[in-house]
Structure 1
């Protein structure tokens, strides 16, 4: 046993050396600087921060470099580091209505207060490889600065009482999903926390399924906005709120049809998504899945995977999913030998009695 352990330790140490060499690549080439990753791979940095549950561009860039571009590994690294940090308190709820907008579009109204602000987006680019990305693009200066605040598009529907209304203070104090275990049924605040940390690819697939008929869904993109929002805290020793900084967020509010019932008139309903940094696809997917998971409270039939909160919330975490799948690479020698011995015994019994029916497998009738 000691020889096996010693040999394993040596092999692991050598594996780590090889990993460091592979991560560095050709030493003749300059090493990537964190500033380059942070500025030029900002969308990847935003995803690592979002699913790693830690808003720190420098640390997210460091995790991406250490993981050699493996986003799930980078997310795992950042989330693991997050657990070592002290917690000083909680911020006040963010006021996204006061967002300093850099991008803001609506798929429901052409003319909206403040106008459509295309901002930085791939939506209007040709999907062709650019072999000279360093060439400067022609930039037309804006004719006027954007307003410091822009009204919400959904307020237009709210003014006519055509969309469900959430009054401030309707929600109870949410519990912290990073400190409390997930249990079912989960309230909406808990579900939104889980979706915010969820794997973007998984949520995208779930969102796509709702558009293909696997849920009671007919969505419209009410408003998508991206920009900077101030973060406020209220220290006990001061008794009033102070600003500690600002963060970049992407917010999406989806509009969905609802026929009404149980005393509720026909009206539009909402799906909500919020992502750190520039994370438009994640925010949109989150909003679609959030709306699908509200089926029970809205009295809708629940039959689709995206409407099953235990299925969605239990399988959306990239760190947990990756760990459980990849643990199959670890030694399972004892378990396999036990099943191998059982299979050999069953095969020998069947060979000894060839005229009898084979033993039924578990689950067969």
Structure 2
């Protein structure tokens, strides 16, 4: 047994060394630096921060480098590191109306107050490979713009004025924290939104797409999609007031959905909501669609059996770290389990053969 353990340790050490060699690749090619990943693979960095529940572009970039670009592995590294950090306090809720918008579009109002800001987006590109990038060609410089410090009102506020959008409840003063307590069902909307924010982008996208194809009767319009930096404030007890401690880049999406009304509510619009770290608009839109699908019970709608309406299915399967752990554990040694099943199959085959011989 001692020899087997030592042999296993050597094999693992060798695997780690080989992994480091493979991660580095051809030593004749310059090594990627953390700042290069942070600045040039920003969308990957944003996803790692969002699903890792830790806003730190440098650490997210480091995790991407260490994981050889495997974003789920990078998210795992960030979540593991996050558990070692002390919790010094809680910030105040961010006011997204104060967002300095780099991108702000609405699919419902053409002349939205505050204007439409296309920002840096793939929406209008031709999806053709740019071989200048392979040749390290120069990238055209964007026109210089002045910072947008003024407040940009939410599109939904204009529907509020006409009483056409459902009034949202205040919710709990201190919402449940998914990073400190396990998921419990039925979950509050705040807890659902946290789970969707941390959930795998591909899974949430698939659920959202299913609602658009008729599985949940969820036809939505993007009332507003905005991306930009918002200040983060924290109450300091010694001072007796809040101070700004920094800012974070967020993507916020509000969808507007038709609602035919119920016994207690008149016909009106309802909303879905998504808020994610960084420039992560596909995730934010998907999150808003799934959020709205999960609200069927509180709105008195019928459950048509759609996957996106099943709270347990969505919330317990959207987390890619939990899914990865459960999936990948089957590649670890299961020698005893398999041997017992092997013996069972052999026994059943012997019994079946004996019965067949008796019948003959």
Structure-2-length-normalised TM-score: 0.96
* Aligned residue number for residue 248 of structure 1: 249
CA distance in 1, matches of 2:147, 2:333: 61
Q: Over residues 216-236 of structure 1, what are the superposed CA-to-partner deviations in whole Å (9 max), with x where a residue is unaligned? A: 201000000000000011022
Which of 328, 331, 336 is the matching residue for 1:329? 331
Choose from 339, 343, 346 the match for 1:344: 346
Aligned partner of 2:139 among 136, 139, 144: 136
1:51-94 deviation per Cα after TM superposition (whole angstroms, max 9, x unaligned): 00000000000000000100000000001000000000110011
CA offset digits 1:12-47 (Å, max 9, x no partner)? 010000000000111122211111101000000000
CA contact (8 A) 1:216 1:300 kept: no
SS of residue in 1 equivalent to 2:21: helix
C-alpha separation in 2, matches of 1:138 and 1:25: 32
Query: Are the equivalent residues in 2 in contact too, given 1:221–1:255 (CA < 8 A)?
Result: yes
Structure 1 pair 93–145 and aligned structure 2 pair: CA distance change class (3 A): closer
Q: Distance in 1 between matches of 2:47 and 2:40?
A: 14
The residue that corresponds to 2:308 in the other structure is 306
Deviation, structure 1 residue 250: 0.3
Instruction: Give the ranges of 4+ consecutive aligned residues of structure 1 lying more than 6 Å apart after TM superposition.
Output: none
Aligned length: 355
Counterpart residue number, 1:92 = 92
Match of 2:232 in 1: 231
The reply on whether 1:44 has 2:11 as its aligned counterpart is no
Any stretches of 5+ residues in structure 1 without a counterpart?
358-365
* Equivalence map 1:175-324=2 (5 Å): 175-302=176-303, 303-324=305-326
Residue 360 of structure 1: aligned partner: none
Counterpart-to-counterpart distance in 2, 1:178 and 1:261: 35
| Superposition CA RMSD, Å | 1.5
> Tell me, which stretches of 5 or more residues in structure 2 are unaligned?
none
TM-score, length basis structure 1:
0.94
| Equivalent residues of 2:100, 2:147 under 8 A apart | no
SS in 1 for 2:187: coil
